[in-house]
Structure 1
């Protein structure tokens, strides 16, 4: 890492969490000079999210770091991603959901990368290591945004160096706030969070408990829901070294959970009275459904928790922030490289806000069914009536929690409907189903995935700019016309024509234009006579 700050990057990114790191990678892999600042002295302070979903893993495959993340898995890739529902760890099982979040390794025709159960701090470390290999990206820790001013040509920011007490000035074309729930950038542009605050107050405890994995009879799982009338809670392995997380789901009004109180609460919740507990950290947080009333002001943008907050049930939060960084990143790069118009940046909020709303609704629905809502008096009774009640509650769980742990329709099925840089083709929109993901090449949707006969993923052949996917029987003249139009417009275009015939059926057209973020921008059976107009439309240059 350089010793002197790069005071003239084209983009200043405030916050080196997953959203900021994703944005930096998108820009850095396109050779856009950017400066990423983080007020802490390293990445990955908080023991937060643990699910890196299939879509985020697909971005990591595109960035070339999916294998690095796979290698960083503390529990091992073959560790079963099951979710167990029980009264307590030493109590009877009520239900279980296998392969939650689609973490099982192996090839699935619907996606190129399986999900992964891995602490967010480990994910951030893999992303940080990659960022620091990109020559055009500078990452500086212990630096905090003080203030900034916008002008027609760019942004000038003052940054505090928290190590030496000094400050330095940064002149850039764009500034992005990836600085979390208490975003300084959001406040500076006058954006307000709107929605429902305080759906619940929660604590997350990270602790070490030697032998806990062997102390119960439910077998390995990524999460155990403990449904009882005493301490309803979630508990599960956090990392190697007997490190676990614990989250009570019902605290009395005004009750605080201190590091001193946590061991006894964990023993009561699990029913394991002799459990040795060493508390490593406690973190209080409030579950809310909040979204910013605007995501941008001229040359300043918001990504991740800076513009949306929701309950962490379903594993969407970190992954949505990464997707924000991807969407905004390729668009900023396109504008700075001259082949995208400023109007392309206007599509960022228009595309992402509806997705945020949809996903937040899913998270709130999941939050409405916690352990305390599933509890019934008598559930732990060692009687025939208690056994019957446990069977009935188990059936309720299988229905109610499917929406939280089997959600491929949410993870891969979101579409950029109504985007100004998508060309609709009049086809009928697929019915949204949180569980059943139906691939569709309708413009705005994620390009359908396929494994090619050489064992590679179709996605592996997409370019860093736009990709024109041609079916096996597409006219060569159309491909030539597309390449000439892209060359004339200065738009990076990769043309591919795999010979697998199934692709024509999967995509429903001979020609499909796919964006850098792998979403479909346009499709048809013939290349248009005015291909230049099409390319202008999808890069924000129309009108």
Structure 2
């Protein structure tokens, strides 16, 4: 056993964005948690660079969306264009403007626009916020060594690498947010299944004073270079002339290091500068999903249970959503108003979403610069221009689903969940581009701006929220409040007056969960509403839509 003993509600292994999201969610709900990380979480590694609209909506809920906005290295009005070109010094093929919905300004479909920002900066903002929460104990240079569990909790031994001291941590639950080589996943015997080795790639971070001025295509967040020498992605990453470079589909046996990478960047860009390589990181694209996300009191989240090619910007954002989902559900159980089915619903709800997103990422990965190159594409003649128009049209058709993906970000739904009450309405088809808001149970609650300038989401409570129409009977609303108290479930009631909200929420009553997904709706309040609250909080599955109260 360890040299000292520490007791907490939740032990979180891994302090990347997934573990931090979970810790913040728990901290906002006054649940004690210990978050351990074996590293310092510093460095140049590019990892994710897109914080999408849904993740930023969680940041808004936590009160740090403006903090993240202010941390943007190029300012919020830097154009989020994606340019396809033969090289930074060559011909443009096509471009996508406002990729990932990063442009500031109000959009009726969401409360926060996306943001192009290095993951390490996102982590800094999250880490500072997590450390400001009194119930979050964040410990770096601390690694998990062993753990076991029983009916009462998880008993883990962690090692403080600085002090050389073992600590025994007793927690009600443990979550492995410890990445693709998850020790927690190995400890519960979960296996990653799917397709490995789709392609071999490198992440490179380098300094290039003057490159922004010498390249020919104007400001953008990413340039896809389609050429024979070094098909690749390249783009500005941070202040100080810091860029990222990602050659795709590298041949087996090719190694990039500080010495040989500058020449490859010169070949790819056609621009001769004194490139200073800061880091090179090899990675292999795969499509993998864990066969289980849980063993009793131990859960997996983020890359510990799903891995996919990083095309579409889904990985970090999907992991943050995992942390949010687990956070409110574990908090509900520890606070006494959530039941076993709520914990069961984590994998039942998230795994189909992960499968859908993995399919999207693999589809995006199928079209890289390697597949787009044709001999003569960079020719300074009529044939070259015609070929560029032809390839540009192929890119527009094939890559729209990678950069214009609101249907994936906001359109996912939780079907067949034990804590959502279906209303019998037909399931709409999935469209990765065109997001059509719906208050159908399982869907993300449709967003709206209120006349006072606030977001509808700003008025949702930490527990469940009952959104009642303007003509909802006051007696039924009072009955809902009373029965929520009787069921021990936290409930906020809102009754907005804006006409547009009635179109988004056509039923008199809509119940919205803490994660902003709809869990039930109807035109009349049910007689057995205590049973309804017990159903959606995971304590009793016997409720069925039946008796209603007008």
Specify the TM-score bucket, using the shorter chain as the normaliser: over 0.9
Once the two structures are TM-superposed, the CA of residue 351 in structure 1 deviates from its matched residue by 0.2
TM-aligned CA distance change 1:43 to 1:450, over 3 Å: farther
Matched ranges for 1:128-277 at <5 A: 128-273=127-272, 275-277=273-275
Once the two structures are TM-superposed, the CA of residue 45 in structure 1 deviates from its matched residue by 6.2
Q: 2:545 corresponds to which residue?
A: none
TM-aligned CA distance change 1:114 to 1:8, over 3 Å: same
Q: TM-score if structure 1 supplies the norm length? A: 0.98
1:480-532 Cα offsets, whole Å, 9 max, x none, are 01100111111110000011122121112111000000000000111111110
Once the two structures are TM-superposed, the CA of residue 382 in structure 1 deviates from its matched residue by 1.6
Q: 1:310 corresponds to which residue?
A: 308
Q: 2:53 corresponds to which residue?
A: 54
TM-aligned CA distance change 1:45 to 1:82, over 3 Å: closer
Q: 1:73 corresponds to which residue?
A: 72
Once the two structures are TM-superposed, the CA of residue 43 in structure 1 deviates from its matched residue by 5.5
Give the Cα separation in 2 of the matches to 1:43 and 1:278: 19
Once the two structures are TM-superposed, the CA of residue 180 in structure 1 deviates from its matched residue by 0.2
Q: 1:280 corresponds to which residue?
A: 278
RMSD over aligned Cα, in angstroms? 1.1
Give the Cα separation in 1 of the matches to 2:26 and 2:263: 48
Q: 1:370 corresponds to which residue?
A: 368
Give the Cα separation in 1 of the matches to 2:35 and 2:41: 12
Once the two structures are TM-superposed, the CA of residue 315 in structure 1 deviates from its matched residue by 0.0
Give the Cα separation in 2 of the matches to 1:193 and 1:533: 38
Give the conservation status (yes or no) of the 8 Å contact 2:102–2:113: yes
Give the conservation status (yes or no) of the 8 Å contact 2:85–2:223: yes
Give the Cα separation in 2 of the matches to 1:5 and 1:509: 55
Q: 2:544 corresponds to which residue?
A: none
Matched ranges for 1:76-155 at <5 A: 76-155=75-154
1:266-323 Cα offsets, whole Å, 9 max, x none, are 01100012x1211111111111000000000000000000000000000000000000
Give the Cα separation in 2 of the matches to 1:465 and 1:120: 30
Give the conservation status (yes or no) of the 8 Å contact 1:43–1:125: no
Give the Cα separation in 2 of the matches to 1:541 and 1:342: 6
Give the Cα separation in 2 of the matches to 1:268 and 1:43: 30
The structure 2 residue matched to 1:432, chosen from 421, 430, 433, is 430
Q: 1:458 corresponds to which residue?
A: 456
Give the Cα separation in 2 of the matches to 1:42 and 1:398: 37
Give the Cα separation in 2 of the matches to 1:41 and 1:431: 44
Is 1:421 equivalent to 2:419 in the alignment?
Answer: yes
Give the Cα separation in 1 of the matches to 2:355 and 2:538: 24
For structure 1, the residue ranges without an aligned partner over 5 or more in a row are: none
Q: 1:397 corresponds to which residue?
A: 395
Give the conservation status (yes or no) of the 8 Å contact 1:43–1:128: no
Name the SS of the counterpart of 1:77 in structure 2.
coil
Give the conservation status (yes or no) of the 8 Å contact 1:161–1:167: yes
1:83-115 Cα offsets, whole Å, 9 max, x none, are 000000000100000000000000000000000
Give the Cα separation in 2 of the matches to 1:269 and 1:80: 23
Name the SS of the counterpart of 1:156 in structure 2.
strand
Give the Cα separation in 1 of the matches to 2:504 and 2:74: 36
Name the SS of the counterpart of 1:46 in structure 2.
coil
The structure 2 residue matched to 1:533, chosen from 517, 531, 538, is 531
Once the two structures are TM-superposed, the CA of residue 541 in structure 1 deviates from its matched residue by 1.0
Give the conservation status (yes or no) of the 8 Å contact 2:44–2:278: no
Q: 1:347 corresponds to which residue?
A: 345
TM-aligned CA distance change 1:125 to 1:132, over 3 Å: same
Give the Cα separation in 2 of the matches to 1:49 and 1:458: 29
For structure 2, the residue ranges without an aligned partner over 5 or more in a row are: 542-550
